Amino acid sequence: MLLVKRANDPSRGSWELPAGFVEPDEAPAAAVAREVLEETGVVIDVHSLLDILHRPDPGGMADLVIVYKGLYVSGDVTAGDDADEAAWFKQDALPEVALVTTQRMTQLWVTGKI
């Protein structure tokens, strides 16, 4: 699993899935590919939708977290500007993660459900 160590809040310093916002003229799958490239230097093929989660925001808004499975295409792992580190992890060597979305996805991966 490809994870980044976050350089910014929320959860600064924790390992998490690459993530970001969808641009106004961008499809969610295209945003995933762009964010993974920006944060890790890795080109992926966005393969399949894994989950959609609703997350309330303390400011009175809400986020929809859309999670896709990506398949490695090319590139060397290099941390982008909003990540302190980026790395591949095996199922038996995952670091501790803080965000609920990453906790859920790592658990599904370790148990073979994704």
Closest residue by Cα to residue 4 from 93, 110, 108, 79: 79
pLDDT of 54 reads 85
Active site residue 85: yes
- Domain residues for the domain of 77 are 2-110
Convert the pLDDT of each residue in 81-93 to its tens digit: 889 999 999 999 9
Integer Cα distance of 35 and 23 in angstroms: 11
Average pLDDT over the chain reads: 92
pLDDT surpassing 90 at residue 62 = no
Q: What's the CATH code of the domain at 104? A: 3.90.79.10
**What residues have CB less than 8 Å from 41, skipping those under 6 apart?**
75, 76, 77, 78, 79, 80, 86
Q: Which residue is listed with tokens 């792992």?
A: 77
Question: Which residue of the set 16, 38, 39, 85 is catalytic?
Answer: 85
Convert the pLDDT of each residue in 1-18 to its tens digit: 999 999 988 788 999 999
pLDDT of 82 reads 87
Domain count, the chain: 1
